[in-house]
C-alpha cells in the first residue's frame, strides 16, 4: 500500500523530507516524479537538512548533478528535466554515483529514464492540489 501525505506549503514539504532522511541508507536511489512546481526540490532540501548536509539545495538545472557532503550520508541530486537521453545521464557518472558513491541519490524527473534506475528504487510521486496543497504518494 502506498503512503499518501498532504502538505499545505513548501515548509511542510521540506519537513516531510527531513523526517524521511532518517530512512536513507548508503546506495539508496529515490526517484521523485511530478510536474514543475510540485515540490520535489523542497523535498530534497528537507532531506539534505535532515542528513545534516551543508549548503543550500537548488535545482541542478545547469550543473546537472549537485553533491552535498558533510552529513550522515552524501547526497547526489540529479534532475533529468533537461536531459535528452539516458546516455547523457550515464555520461555524468551515474553508475559510479549509485554503485560506489555510498550516498543517497535523489532524482527529479526520474520517470523520464526509468530503465536506468536500479531495482529497489523508492518512488515518491508529487501532485499539485489546489493553491499550496501538494500530495506526495510514496511507494
Ligand atoms: P519542483 O522541484 O517540483 O519543480 P520546487 O520545490 O522547486 O518544485 O518548487 C515548488 C514551488 O511551489 C515553490 O515555488 C513553492 O513555494 C511552491 N509551493 C507551494 N505550496 C507548496 C507545497 N505544499 N510544497 C512545496 N512547494 C510548494
Ligand atoms: Mg525541482
Q: pLDDT tens for residues 42-68?
A: 999 999 999 999 766 666 666 789 999
Sign of CA dihedral 88, 80, 45, 48: negative
CB neighbour list of residue 86: distance below 8 Å, 6 or more residues apart = 113, 115, 116
Measure CA 100 to chain center. 18
* Ligand 1 atom closest to residue 134's alpha carbon, by position in its atom list: 23
CB neighbour list of residue 40: distance below 8 Å, 6 or more residues apart = 32, 33, 34, 108, 126
Is the distance from the beta carbon of residue 7 to the nearest atom of ligand 1 less than 6 Å? yes
How much is the mean pLDDT over the chain? 94
Structure confidence by residue, pLDDT tens digits, 73-104? 999 999 999 999 999 999 999 999 999 999 99
**Residues pairing with 3 in the sheet:** 138
Domains and their CATH numbers in the chain: 3-138 (3.40.50.300)
* Ligand 1 atom closest to residue 42's alpha carbon, by position in its atom list: 6
Amino acid at each position: 500500500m502506498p503512503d499518501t501525505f498532504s502538505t499545505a506549503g513548501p515548509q511542510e514539504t521540506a519537513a516531510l523530507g527531513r523526517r524521511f532522511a532518517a530512512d536513507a541508507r548508503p546506495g539508496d536511489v529515490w526517484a521523485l516524479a511530478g510536474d514543475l512546481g510540485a515540490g520535489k526540490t523542497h523535498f530534497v532540501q528537507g532531506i539534505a537538512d535532515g542528513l545534516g548536509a551543508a549548503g543550500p539545495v537548488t535545482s541542478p538545472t545547469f550543473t546537472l548533478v549537485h553533491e552535498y557532503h558533510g552529513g550522515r550520508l552524501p547526497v547526489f541530486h540529479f534532475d533529468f528535466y533537461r536531459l535528452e537521453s539516458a546516455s547523457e545521464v550515464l555520461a555524468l557518472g551515474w553508475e559510479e554515483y549509485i554503485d560506489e558513491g555510498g550516498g543517497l541519490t535523489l532524482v527529479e524527473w526520474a520517470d523520464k529514464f526509468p530503465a536506468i534506475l536500479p531495482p529497489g528504487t523508492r518512488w515518491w510521486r508529487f501532485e499539485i492540489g489546489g493553491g499550496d496543497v501538494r500530495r506526495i504518494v510514496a511507494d
